[in-house]
Amino acid sequence: MHLLAAIPYAQIELTWDRPVLGPAAARARQLRGALAQAFSDDDLFHQHNPSGHVLYRYPHIHYRWGGGCGVVVGWDEAAERLLNLPWLDLELTLGDDPIQIDDVLLTSRRVAFGVSDHLLHYRLRVPALIFNQANYPRYTAMDAAAQRRERDRLLVAQLLTSLRGLGVDFPERLQAAFTDVSIRACQYKQQRLMGLAGRFVSNAVLPSGFALGHAVSHGYGWIEREEESDTWS
């Protein structure tokens, strides 16, 4: 493995004073809104400048939901920011539900990005939004072979975009292809979008917790490496 970068990573898992039910995608979106409001002066939490305009960049804070817990992930400079916040003092409202944080599990490490000499296997824990209004109609008009090539092309493009968003330049040809894929309907900002779920292989060394595609700050595109027993050094 050729190491490209080792980037600070922090994961904050929040458990609540009572069970919080509901769809994971909706709860992740509500968690994002609640923390964006709590830290409205920090654009890392909400991707808007002081004038209210959207900052078009790879988000360094991602919001997720799993097992009834809220998960907040921070990359690079956002990792240290998350580790130093007074989580237990926060009062949050998710949708119409005021809740208290009962416990916090903090995880911090530096994660490796690199080039592998063989293909590595990854699983999308949450569907990736790699289509948009322009390319999805074209995709649906293609035959099966062309759709497979288009999915893999978009996968490569989104991986490169996400890597660049974290300041990681991939010096070789990035290879990636889906090995198992299905289309899932996803809800994003009152829009019904088509996401891709499944597994893929790539010669990029990516850490579990990395995310690709659109709306990664809302929890989409979250990946997990399936060969965690391999050593990367």
pLDDT at 50 (0 to 100) = 65
Domain ranges in the chain are 2-110, 113-225
SS3 (DSSP) at 19: coil
Percentage of the chain lying above the pLDDT 90 cut? 78
Question: Per-residue DSSP letters for 71-93?
Answer: EEEEETHHHHHHHTS-GGG-EEE
Answer yes or no: same fold for 2-110 and 113-225: yes
CATH of segment(s) 2-110: 3.30.70
The pLDDT, as a whole number, for residue 232 is 32
Alpha-carbon dihedral angle through residues 179, 182, 183, 187, given to the nearest 10 degrees? -100
Residues 6+ apart with CB under 8 A from 177: 152, 155, 200, 201, 202
Residue 217, pLDDT above cutoff 50: yes
What are the backbone dihedrals phi and psi of residue 53, each rounded to the nearest 5 degrees, phi first? -80, 145
Give the right CATH number for 113-225 from 3.30.70.1900, 3.90.660.10, 3.30.420.60, 3.40.50.300: 3.30.70.1900
CA atoms within 13 A on the CB side of 80: 4
More confident site: 153 or 42: 153
**Alpha-carbon span 96 to 44, nearest angstrom:** 25
d(CA 2, CA 125): 26
DSSP codes, 87-147: GGG-EEEETTEEEEEEEEEEEEEEEEEEEEEEEEEEEEEEEEB---TTHHHHHHTS-HHHH
Considering the entire predicted model, what is its pTM? 0.88
Give the type of residue at 33.
G
Half-sphere exposure of 195 (CA within 13 A, CB side): 26
Q: Out of 22-26, 104-108, 150-154, pick the least confident.
A: 22-26
**CA pseudo-torsion sign 216, 103, 82, 229:** negative
